Amino acid sequence: MTTIHEPAVTMRADALSVWPASAVEPREGELTVGGVPLAEVADRFGTPVYVIDEEEVRERCRTYRHVFPDAEVLYAAKAFLCRAMVHWVAEEGLGLDVCSAGELELAVTTGFPPERIVLHGNAKSPRDLDTALRLGVGRVVIDSPSEIARLAAAVGPDGHQKVMVRVVPGISAGGHEKIRTGTEDQKFGLSISDGYAQYAIARILDQPQLELTGLHCHLGSQITGVKPYLAAVRRMVGLMARLHEQHGLVLPELDLGGGHGIAYRPGEPALDLTTLARKVRAELAEACAAAGIAVPRLLVEPGRAIAGPAGIALYHVLAVKRTGTHTYVAVDGGMSDNPRPALYGVRYAPRLVGRHSSAAPVPVTVVGRHCEAGDIVAADVELPEDIRPGDLLAVPVAGAYHLSMASGYNLVGRPPVVAVDDGQARLLIRRESLEDIRSRDVGL
């Protein structure tokens, strides 16, 4: 993502580049975010703990509103959702993209306008669709032909529901094969090349209670270049033009999804939002002019690019073990609160906080506490040679796909979420306790 703030003068620019803009180092070894020392957060709330910078979230929402002034920006709730996040996104004027009845109900019961919510999902359950209709969701994105009849029947002959169709444009993009969703032969969407997208659209047009407002696509995640999005625009506009010729259909909306790449470590590439917005607008206008169709309103769905850089995970070191040529630093969390390194090989840049060390940096691998050899938090990173049990490690860019993908592995309990802003820290989500876990176990 493009840089939003100027770096603080008290830290090196390269060290700050993947941290929230509020991160400063008032003294060597001490790090504050949102005006709150991270060591103080760990002391007060324990570890592991997620910290999220409220102002960073809000500023990133504003950046999207600024670079896409005429588009509808929908925050992808799957990245991270809680009631506070719903509130922040609503206040900053964004819509929501949800993937389940649970995400939808949390948002609406927090006060988010349902008409500004889009429901996704490759396999929506009856509860998902019933909840969407009961709460008055703005749009439902059709992902399979069977969904059309189910939704039409649930709406009823006198009802009305706006829908979009998720199209597979046949474009490979994204940081890992498991998060590339714009290609053929994966579970999402309906292909243009085999005609399934066109078939689904024709079926929707035969359902008067379903109003087709536009097309949707999502290319993947962690995309750091603009070219895949431009290719998607051309293919989607090509389909829109064919639909206009065949059905006289003028679709007012085009959703290009999200997947906007961010840097997890200093020096890594990130998607330039300003360039993306400018080139996508130009490509869309040119393609529509060539096809002789009206320019649809653009929708984008950022999730990681808003939440990710605003979050930090804090851990205490439990053990330091030197085995052969490797040094392993074990912490009190791991794959139950962040499965992404195991799933995608994601690499982070943890930092010692809470004390100053003048020891030379040495290569170590930060590992978790779980009973898996693949439970790695950060492989081959540099930490001070005198790293020891009791030290506090901070992992930046931990705001997306951490808590939302957390599990109950080894029954350690999911960490709390603490918001920091203007020198204050407040609890958003409490730690999952043994009593929480035990209360769900109702059989014997």
Q: Which residues are catalytic?
A: 371
Q: Which amino acid is it at 143?
A: D
For residue 141, what are the β-bridge partners?
Answer: 164
Contact 257, 216 (CB under 8 A): yes
At residue 406, what is the residue type?
A: A
C-alpha 441: how far from chain center: 31
Q: Measure the CA–CA gap between 405 and 80, rounded to whole angstroms.
A: 9
CB 26 within 8 A of CB 34: no
Tell the burial category of 307 from Cβ atoms under 10 Å away from its Cβ (0-12, 13-18, 19+): buried
Tell me whether strands 297-300 and 72-76 are parallel, antiparallel or unpaired: parallel
d(CA 402, CA 338): 5
Q: Calculate ∠ Cα 258-102-155, nearest 5°.
A: 90
Nearest residue to 366 (alpha-carbon basis) of 354, 385, 353, 383: 383
Report the length, in residues, of the chain. Answer: 444
Q: For residue 160, which phi and psi values (nearest 5 degrees)?
A: -155, 135
